[in-house]
Structure 1
Amino acid sequence: MKKLIQLLVVLCIFVLTGCKTNKERYLSITTSGYDKKGNVVVNIYEYSLSTKKVTKKYTSSNPLGIYSKSNNAVYYAEEDNSGDHLYTYDLDTKKSKKLSGGFIAMNQIIPVENNIYVLGVEKGQRLLKPYRYNIETKKFSKIKAEEDLDFDHMVYDVFNHDLYLCASNQKEEDQALEDANAGKGSKYIAPNTHIYRLKNNQLKCIYTTNRKLVYRMLPMESGNLTFTESDTIPAWNPQYHTYTLDTKTVMK
């Protein structure tokens, strides 16, 4: 798994989720830490934005997981000798079920109504790609994207029910790293990053940076997208700048 949990004492991941059939908005919060014996302990909570209450939903040793209120289930990645597998834990029946396999690694899981979106790397590949698991048909499918794109992260827009993803060209990523290692320039200079919107399971590029990384994306109720750019990776003392993108005019 492409995770750095061994370097963290506590990791908190906040994901705002929601759906059209469930009007109550909430946070799915995943905390990762260690017990007294040094074992990884992962807790998944629900934070209700209306009642301001936190409820523990699930405890495991799997560092990647998320709670879905509409399905009253936890979706998580579990690793074995063959790679990462997507599982669901039904909080009503208290039973786990394997949904898919075939991944070297999974980096993100976002449940949206009857779909589960995953960023993962398939066996025999090296690039992170977006996938969709349909809960009703029980089918896993790869979302169509350019073959040389390496996706980094995605966020769910609870207001407009879209997903936003960012990606870079793998060859440009490799060249940027090669140039930095060769001492070309004073630091690692990032390649262009492309921001995509996934609507009706179709990807559309809505913005491209000028040699900048995208570290955070926050969809707004207005339909705009706030995001943070960085000129380099953390090891090279990056400069951060936050912008709001008008998704209709594609201007920031």
Structure 2
Amino acid sequence: MAIAVLNLFGCSDKKEESTQQQEENIEYLSITETYEDYSGTMLSNVNLINLEGNGVNDTRVHTVEYASQYPLTVYDKQNDIIYYSERVYVDDDYGDQLFSYNIETKESVQLTDNIYAINYIYPVGNYIYMLGAMQNTHYLTIMKYDLNTKEFSVFDNDSKWNFDLLIYDVYGDRLYATACDAKEEEDCRESYNSRPEEEYDDNYVPPDYTIFEFGSDFYNPKQILHTENKYIRRIGATPDNRLFVTFADTLPVMNPTYESHYLDLKTDKLEDAPDIDNAAYVTEFVYFFPDDSKIYFIGADPESDIRGLCSYDTESKIVKLLYKSDVGYINNCSMLKENVVN
């Protein structure tokens, strides 16, 4: 994706000379991989992945101690800062808080003090968006931290919604999240847990799910899709203003039937999409790059069963393992962008 900016200089009778300055967004992946070192300390590597032709270029950016309920890091290449979660104790209570680490100054700073758990972190402009649970709550919600004012905002303080997925659309500069009504989810779980003995082999029937689009108005996101008793396993943003959406008839641990579609964000219509779940084990982390017909995902190579960054060729239907951890386990992955002026 490129935006050309033309600057004209030296207007005269002579032949005009022009200089063209180009701003280019370079998409990259930030991967968290966790391992245990020789002393028994759990650590998380923060790795930067760039696609180059048919291969990948991976760089170890930094390593932080894995000291949270869930290992979570993300590298903001634009500002050379790592954001990560770390457990903080206050008396007998604890919670995973948002921290920043400046690569240049080597300084770590605690940014929050009232979160219980964090599942996703996305640095976008002057804000850090997260999906997590506040202290003394039982539901996941969307949070926003203002890097300039230090203000912390919570989308749903009443726990009406229980959020599950959060992605950043690097092409549309928006965030998308999935959620279900918290009361409906409780009813579905109660129904499943109290089912009669003759239904013990039946799968859990999920509640309806909604996809939210978070734009400039944080407290008034747009609801763009609703399911009927279908779980949303994954969403991924494409360069052509679509979302790749995978539905499931039950939870991932219950061997669900998957169904993938493209959601046209202009028309809100669903279109057919490749059945990647028939080709490999695919997690919720799925990505699309410009001028590339492949689908990239964190999952398992069907030949070796090794977990890593894989590509799925939509024409040949071939899955390739592009990157695997040499030291531990890949926990999560985020797609972000860096603005480069040439």
TM-score, normalised with respect to structure 2 = 0.64
Aligned length, in residue pairs:
232
- Conserved 8 A contact 1:22-1:70: no
Partner of 2:58: 54
How many angstroms does 1:48 deviate by?
A: 2.4
Change (3 A) 1:23 1:68: same
Structure 1 position 188 matched with structure 2 position 204: yes
Partner of 2:250: 232
SS in 2 for 1:175: helix
Distance of 2:39 and 2:191 partners within structure 1: 43
- Encode CA deviations 1:14-65: one digit per residue, 9 max, x unaligned: xxxxxxx762221111112333454322101111235842111111223111
Partner of 2:26: 24
Distance of 1:29 and 1:166 partners within structure 2: 22
- Conserved 8 A contact 2:235-2:244: yes
Distance of 2:184 and 2:136 partners within structure 1: 21
SS in 2 for 1:156: strand
- Conserved 8 A contact 1:25-1:50: no
How many angstroms does 1:162 deviate by?
A: 0.4
Distance of 2:127 and 2:262 partners within structure 1: 28
Distance of 1:108 and 1:145 partners within structure 2: 18
Change (3 A) 1:40 1:22: farther
Structure 1 residue corresponding to 2:119, chosen from 98, 107, 121: 107
- Greater C-alpha radius of gyration: 2
RMSD: 1.9
Partner of 2:261: 243
Distance of 1:236 and 1:49 partners within structure 2: 34
SS in 1 for 2:105: coil
How many angstroms does 1:231 deviate by?
A: 0.7
Distance of 1:46 and 1:205 partners within structure 2: 32
Give ranges in structure 2 of 5+ residues lacking alignment: 1-22, 271-342
Structure 2 residue corresponding to 1:125, chosen from 137, 150, 154: 137
- Conserved 8 A contact 1:144-1:203: no
SS in 1 for 2:212: strand
How many angstroms does 1:145 deviate by?
A: 7.8
- Encode CA deviations 1:122-152: one digit per residue, 9 max, x unaligned: 1222111111111122211123587410111
How many angstroms does 1:171 deviate by?
A: 1.1
Question: Identity of aligned pairs, percent?
Answer: 33
1:210 maps to amino acid? E
Partner of 1:218: 236
How many angstroms does 1:235 deviate by?
A: 3.3
1:56 maps to amino acid? R
Partner of 2:188: 176
Distance of 1:216 and 1:205 partners within structure 2: 17
SS in 1 for 2:113: strand
1:230 maps to amino acid? A
- Conserved 8 A contact 2:233-2:252: no
- Conserved 8 A contact 1:43-1:56: yes
- Encode CA deviations 1:141-176: one digit per residue, 9 max, x unaligned: 123587410111100101110000000111111111
2:215 maps to amino acid? K
- Conserved 8 A contact 1:83-1:102: yes
Distance of 1:41 and 1:178 partners within structure 2: 38
- Encode CA deviations 1:182-206: one digit per residue, 9 max, x unaligned: 2265220010110011111341110
Runs of 4+ in 1 over 6 A off after TM superposition: none
